[in-house]
């Protein structure tokens, strides 16, 4: 059998995962990356001793990473060392009102009991359901390619779907167990990773609480990019050829078959199969001839996108007080206006924000005696992005940060870089400047997501956060595996997947 040449576009988590799984099947794999370094949104940059992860900063669902490397006979520890954070993170409700979330489950239950008597027992019941959802969801449902309803047709799976609270909102589900608004906000927080408010996310995703509370929050020493570095090392070991600065201009298609990849340099690369890990909308609307697009522009415009973000990367010339590695600022009550973060196309009056200070855990990411700080404000996609607005919001959150933590920070900033909608579009061709893909609403789950296979081109596939299973680092790793498995099956390349 002739060796098939698979071209993968994009070296984010999904692209690297797909490329490595396909190379393991003795495919010839070329991975094309438009930027000069790997990782997509998980790139890093350095400045005078500060090392910044540009995107993902939370390491949850450690079992997914274990499974990924174990598939190739490797261990996570072959590539990076993990630290379990304790406290896992801090939730700040206002001045002198902060919860440090303990890593130990019994300590966590004790903390909840102090807020609401009986909450510890309720947590056990809540987590019992959440654990079941996690085991079925992460180890079964998310690995389905979602190309047909028949994948979900078994009686056992249909029963699982009912038990998984697919048709109840996360908001209502949490309120069945807890009454304290402080606990409710804490329990609703993890679904923000899925790009929606708890009112619009199915209660299925309490599985995220199990990941948070039972499996813990971890940190790879030297930063999240170490995962990418390890994945690149493994990909190369498996035979993947990675080319940087290789931006794709067109996927040339003849009679429903993708034949060649044309780079902006003019170079053409022949392909037997193409897997697009780049932004799905960009591929669908700009890299293929319109007659081969999977979806109309109207379809895309109606999708509910996860938020974009305004990010600040800061180098601070002193050590900071009263901050943990991860800090969630819930000091403003958004009330019924929470949806504005996701859909209302204007800048919010009272933004939520998140601060990460990895140098609190890892001294290697900042010069001695200094701090590395990452600030994130979730924003609706497609906002008008200007330096003036970025600066305005920088000072809005810095006013709150300095007041709540009781220290001067701005005068100690020795490095500052912002990143928002325009940068996501420029660097990743991100649709409407989105940061996280599609929100995991009920109508955008499984077969209702954009398909991983082009319906008009028999050898063009998609992977990543805009297709199955959804946004986030672990789902992206799984997405690469799922699409590789489909390529192998469709083109009769199977060896051992």
Q: Are residues 111 and 197 in the same domain?
A: yes
* Token code pair at residue 200: 């619009």
Please give the angle made by the CA atoms of 26, 237 and 459, to the nearest 5 degrees: 40
Domain range holding 135? 105-215
Would you state the pLDDT for residue 66? 98
Q: Does residue 89 belong to any structural domain of this protein?
A: no
Q: Parallel, antiparallel, or unpaired: how do β-strands 413-419 and 308-316 relate?
A: antiparallel
CA 30 to chain centre: 24
Choose among 52, 53, 42, 56: nearest CA to 10. Answer: 42
Q: Does residue 207 belong to any structural domain of this protein?
A: yes
Among 192, 215, 238, which residue terminates a domain?
215
Instruction: Note whether 483 and 275 are within 8 A (CB).
Output: yes
Q: Are residues 121 and 157 in the same domain?
A: yes
CA-CA distance, 255 to 259, in Å (whole number)?
A: 10
- Residue 250 main-chain phi, psi, to 5 deg: -160, 145
CATH number of the domain where residue 117 is located: 1.10.405
Would you state the pLDDT for residue 337? 44
The three-class DSSP label of residue 232 is helix
- Please name the residue ranges forming H helices in 32-104: 62-71
Q: Within 10 Å of residue 289's Cβ, how many Cβ atoms?
A: 13
CA-CA distance, 353 to 188, in Å (whole number)?
A: 15
> Can you state the angle between helices 473-490 and 62-71, rounded to 10 degrees?
30
CA-CA distance, 153 to 137, in Å (whole number)?
A: 16
Would you state the pLDDT for residue 496? 47
Q: Are residues 416 and 343 in the same domain?
A: yes
Among 215, 243, 272, which residue terminates a domain?
215
Q: Parallel, antiparallel, or unpaired: how do β-strands 50-53 and 257-263 relate?
A: unpaired
110's CB contacts (< 8 A; 6+ apart) are: 120
CA-CA distance, 75 to 266, in Å (whole number)?
A: 40
CA-CA distance, 78 to 70, in Å (whole number)?
A: 11
Q: Are residues 271 and 230 in the same domain?
A: yes
User: What is the tally of structural domains in the chain?
Assistant: 3
Choose among 240, 246, 283, 288: nearest CA to 268. Answer: 246
Would you state the pLDDT for residue 196? 81
Would you state the pLDDT for residue 158? 55
Exposed/middle/buried for residue 103 (C-beta within 10 Å: 0-12, 13-18, 19+): middle
Q: Are residues 17 and 56 in the same domain?
A: yes
CA-CA distance, 90 to 38, in Å (whole number)?
A: 31
* Token code pair at residue 190: 């993890």
Q: Are residues 361 and 281 in the same domain?
A: no
Q: Are residues 288 and 276 in the same domain?
A: yes
CA-CA distance, 453 to 472, in Å (whole number)?
A: 20
Would you state the pLDDT for residue 5? 97
* Token code pair at residue 246: 């290789």
Among 198, 215, 232, which residue terminates a domain?
215
Q: Are residues 294 and 352 in the same domain?
A: no
- Residue 269 main-chain phi, psi, to 5 deg: -125, 120
Q: Are residues 294 and 322 in the same domain?
A: no
Q: What is the pLDDT along the chain (497 residues), one digit of tens a residue?
A: 578 999 999 999 999 999 999 999 999 999 999 999 999 999 999 999 999 999 999 999 999 999 999 999 999 999 999 999 999 999 999 999 999 999 999 999 999 999 999 999 999 999 999 999 999 889 888 999 999 877 776 666 556 666 788 889 999 999 999 999 999 999 999 988 787 888 889 999 999 999 999 999 999 999 999 999 999 999 999 999 999 999 999 999 999 999 999 999 999 999 999 999 999 999 999 999 999 999 999 999 999 998 899 999 999 999 999 999 999 999 987 554 455 555 667 898 888 899 999 999 999 999 999 999 999 999 989 999 999 999 999 999 999 999 999 999 999 999 999 999 999 999 999 999 999 999 888 899 889 999 999 999 999 999 999 999 999 999 999 999 999 999 999 998 765 44
2's CB contacts (< 8 A; 6+ apart) are: none
Q: Are residues 260 and 322 in the same domain?
A: no
Q: Are residues 44 and 116 in the same domain?
A: no
Tell me 88's DSSP state: -
Q: Are residues 131 and 186 in the same domain?
A: yes
């Amino acid at each position: 059998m002739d060796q098939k040449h698979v071209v993968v576009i994009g070296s984010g988590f999904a692209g690297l995962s797909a490329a490595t799984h396909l190379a393991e099947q003795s495919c010839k794999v070329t991975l094309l990356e438009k930027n000069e370094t790997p990782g997509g949104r998980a790139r890093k940059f350095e400045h005078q001793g500060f090392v910044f992860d540009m995107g993902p900063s939370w390491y949850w669902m450690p079992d997914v990473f274990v499974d990924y490397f174990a598939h190739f006979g490797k261990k996570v520890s072959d590539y990076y060392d993990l630290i379990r954070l304790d406290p896992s993170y801090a939730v700040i409700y206002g001045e002198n009102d902060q919860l440090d979330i303990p890593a130990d489950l019994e300590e966590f239950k004790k903390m909840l009991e102090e807020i609401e008597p009986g909450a510890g027992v309720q947590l056990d019941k809540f987590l019992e359901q959440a654990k079941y959802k996690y085991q079925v969801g992460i180890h079964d449902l998310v690995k389905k390619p979602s190309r047909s309803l028949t994948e979900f047709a078994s009686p056992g799976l249909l029963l699982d779907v009912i038990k998984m609270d697919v048709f109840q909102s996360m908001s209502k589900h949490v309120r069945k167990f807890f009454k304290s608004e402080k606990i409710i906000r804490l329990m609703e927080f993890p679904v923000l990773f899925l790009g929606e408010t708890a009112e619009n996310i199915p209660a299925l995703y309490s599985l995220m609480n199990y990941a948070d509370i039972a499996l813990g929050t971890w940190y790879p020493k030297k930063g999240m990019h170490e995962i990418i570095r390890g994945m690149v090392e493994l990909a190369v070991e498996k035979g993947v050829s990675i080319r940087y600065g290789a931006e794709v201009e067109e996927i040339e298609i003849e009679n429903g078959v993708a034949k060649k990849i044309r780079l902006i340099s003019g170079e053409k690369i022949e392909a037997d199969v193409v897997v697009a890990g780049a932004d799905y909308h960009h591929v669908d609307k700009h890299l293929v001839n319109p007659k081969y697009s999977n979806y109309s522009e109207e379809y895309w415009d109606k999708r509910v996108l996860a938020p974009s973000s305004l990010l600040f990367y800061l180098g601070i010339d002193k050590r900071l007080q009263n901050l943990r590695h991860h800090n969630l600022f819930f000091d403003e009550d958004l009330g019924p206006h929470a949806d504005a973060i996701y859909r209302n196309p204007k800048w919010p009056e009272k933004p939520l924000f998140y601060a990460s200070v990895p140098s609190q855990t890892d001294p290697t990411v900042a010069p001695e005696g200094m701090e590395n700080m990452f600030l994130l404000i979730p924003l609706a996609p497609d906002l008008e992005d200007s330096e003036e607005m970025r600066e305005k919001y920088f000072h809005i959150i810095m006013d709150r940060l300095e007041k709540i933590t009781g220290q001067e920070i701005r005068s100690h900033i020795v490095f500052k870089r912002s990143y928002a909608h325009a940068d996501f579009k420029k660097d990743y061709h991100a649709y409407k400047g989105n940061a996280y893909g599609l929100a995991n609403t009920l109508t955008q789950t499984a077969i209702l997501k954009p398909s991983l296979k082009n319906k008009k081109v028999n050898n063009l596939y998609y992977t990543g956060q805009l297709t199955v299973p959804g946004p986030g680092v672990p789902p992206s790793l799984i997405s690469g595996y799922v699409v590789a498995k489909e390529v192998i099956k469709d083109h009769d390349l199977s060896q051992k997947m």
